[in-house]
Amino acid sequence: MSLIKPKKGQQGRWPNALSLFFVPLILFFSFRWLVLETFVIPSESMVPNLLIHDHILVQKYIYGIKPLMGDGWLVNWSEPKRGDVVVFRYPENRDVYFIKRVVGLPGDKIEVNGMSVKINGELLDLKSVEKPETDISFRMAFQLPAEYYNETLGDITHFVRFEGEAAGAVELQPKTFEVGKDSYFVMGDNRYNSQDSRFWGNLPKDLLVGRARYIWFSCEKMLEAAPYICDPLSLRLERLFKTIK
C-alpha cells in the first residue's frame, strides 16, 4: 500500500479558490441588500437628533424586501409608522438619498402653518426645551438663538428645532396637504432648514429604502485626503451605538 498522497490537479483547486473569493462577497452584498445598510448624514435637516457626519445603520428588512435594483417591493409586510425616521430616494433625483421623519400616513390631512402642524385637525403639541445638558445629542447640537421643542408623533417623542435666521428660506404661509394612497408626508426635525414634503410633495412608498435605527459612528470632521473616512481626532464618542428616535 502506497503512503504517497496523490497530488491535486489545477482543476481541483480553482473551484475552492473561487468559492473563497466569491462566497464572502455574496454574503456581504446579500446582507447589505436585505438586512442593514450604512449611510452618512450629509446635512443639518435632522438636527438636533442627527448631526452632520453621523454614520447610521438603516434596517432594510423592516418594511419588506426590495428588488436588487430599481424601486418598488418584492415583498411588503409592514408600513412605516408615524414618527419613524426613514431613508428614501429623493423623488426629484433618485440617485440621491434623503432622510426625514414620517409625519403623515396615507389618507391624512396635514396642515402646516409656521411652527404649528395639524394632523387631521389635531395640533401636534410642542413643549419647549431650554436645558441642553439633559440629553447628550441635544447638548451637542444646541445653538442659540434657535428654539428647541419636544414633539410627539405616535409613540415617538423627539426634538425639533426652529432657527429664526433660517425661517426666511421657508415659506411660512399656511399650507394644507392631502396624503394619497401608498404615500407619506415627511419632514426634517430641523423644521426651518429642511427640503421635505412641504416643498416637493408626498413621498411614494416605492422609494423607501428602510428605517434609520442606530448611529454606529460619528465625528466632527472627515479626513481631507479621504472625505469618506472620519478624522479619528474628531470622534463624537458619546454618540456611538446610539438608538435613533
Q: Is residue 24 part of a domain?
A: no
Q: Return all residues near 32 (Cβ < 8 A) that are at least 6 apart.
A: 60
Catalytic residue, from 60, 66, 100, 242: name it. Answer: 100
Instruction: Write out pLDDT tens, residues 169-227.
Output: 666 678 999 999 999 999 999 999 999 999 999 999 999 999 999 999 999 988 888 87
Element (DSSP H or E) covering residue 164: none
pLDDT above 60 (res 95): yes
- In a 3-state reduction of DSSP, which class is residue 179? coil
Q: Return all residues near 217 (Cβ < 8 A) that are at least 6 apart.
A: 54, 55, 230, 240
Q: How far apart are the first and last CA of the chain?
A: 70
Active site residue 45: yes
Q: Cell digits for 124?
A: 401636534
Instruction: Write out pLDDT tens, residues 107-121.
Output: 999 999 988 999 999
Q: Is residue 6 part of a domain?
A: no
Active site residue 245: no
Q: Is residue 4 part of a domain?
A: no
* Domain count along the chain: 1
Q: Is residue 112 part of a domain?
A: yes
Catalytic residue, from 7, 30, 43, 45: name it. Answer: 45
Q: Is residue 92 part of a domain?
A: yes
Average pLDDT over residues 35-57: 91
Range of the domain at 200: 30-243
Residue 229: pLDDT band with limits 50, 70, 90: confident
Residue 73 sits in a domain whose CATH number is 2.10.109.10
Q: Please state, as a whole number, how many other Cβ atoms lie within 10 Å of the Cβ of residue 206.
A: 16
Q: What angle do CA 159, 163, 169 make, to 5 degrees?
A: 125
Q: Is residue 86 part of a domain?
A: yes
